[in-house]
Amino acid sequence: MNPFDLSGRVAVVTGANTGIGQAIALALAAAGADIAAVGRSAATDTVDQVRAMGRKAEIVSADLSTIEPVQRVVDETVEKLGGLHILVNNAGIIRRADAVDFSEEDWDAVVDTNLKSVFFLCQAAGRHMIANGGGKIINIASMLTFQGGIRVPSYAASKSGIAGVTKLLANEWATKGVNVNAIAPGYIATNNTAALQADAARNKSIVDRIPAGRWGDPSDLGGAAVFLASSAADYVQGHILAVDGGWLAR
């Protein structure tokens, strides 16, 4: 039996309409999973590509800037696709300003989306998984889970918090059949990093420091997601897997 086979599993992927979320959804589908594509923007393109692979896919509309929709995400996924075995918490936002000027509004917006909603979606999914034989939760961390960054105080705080929540849930749920881990993407070419890519000086300083010598593509995260979602990772708990072209090794 192929330990990476996800046939018969249902995966919720938040922020699945573009970038990292779309790439992970497509990788999970290619490994056999059916996909609930969750987000504010309808992930029509993602759903069409998943269905073209012969998998089931449904759009679940949810604005994760508050925790209001989290239980509905779980309920709607189970209702439409018949279960929930994998949760990928990818949806996130970023706000940039010098720390001396950073607003409470920008602090709350980022922490609410990137950390608070992630925890409560883990909670809702975890309750279902614990009651139904287990599952896999994959949170999306960041290089700023390990580093401070600049001009992104609420983002750095939220992604450091993701590490703590991931380990806490692993500690509580490892004996209940639920694996909780995280992927920390390096510098990936997406909408979130467009400002950095467009800044010639910052872009050069970033690429010069990446041993792989290039920005990552969202598809570079697919294999890590499939691994952590599969039975191949049954004894992996509370781990933060960097997929960063060697950034942290430099």
- Quick check: is 187 catalytic? no
Of residues 64, 5, 15, the one with CA closest to residue 41? 15
DSSP 239: -
d(CA 107, CA 158): 9
Number of Cβ within a 10 Å radius of residue 246: 13
133 token code pair: 């034989």
Phi, psi angle pair for 163, to nearest 5°:
-60, -45
Q: Which residue among the candidates 15, 36, 73, 155 is catalytic per the annotation?
A: 155
d(CA 214, CA 238): 28
DSSP 216: B
Query: Which positions are annotated as active-site residues?
Result: 155
